Amino acid sequence: MDELNISDRVFEGMSNLQFFRFDENSYGRLHLPQGLNYLPPKLRILHWDYYPMTSLPSKFNLKFLVKIILKHSELEKLWEGIQVSIYHSFMKFILF
């Protein structure tokens, strides 16, 4: 499988998800035709190669997030609007 189209609501039933990894060695690329409106609030690690959106969801809670890896992504900015996080002076970003 080269491409997989997923719903913008794919993560809504996964509120306790802490780790998400979809790397370039997975089954292909994930596409979000309707965009992405939600990421789980307890997410600690987000690893998504070829992330197809230009930003993360604006309502994404950063409280638990410690690592973001978005290699080869379409990311232009981390999120729409203003996001303030005083929690993560140790947060690790890997974007290329």
pLDDT tens track for 62-80: 788 888 888 888 888 776 6
| 3-state helix/strand/coil string of 1-66 | CCEEECCCCCCCCCCCCCEEEECCCCCCEEECCCCCCCCCCCCCEEEECCCCCCCECCCCCCCCCC
Determine the pLDDT at residue 31: 81
More confident call, 60 vs 89: 60
pLDDT tens track for 5-63: 888 888 898 999 999 998 877 667 788 888 888 899 999 999 988 888 888 888 888 78
pLDDT at residue 86 greater than cutoff 50: no
Determine the pLDDT at residue 37: 87
Determine the pLDDT at residue 88: 47
Query: Using 50, 70 and 90 to split pLDDT, how confident is the model at 91?
Result: low
Task: Tell me the pTM.
Answer: 0.77
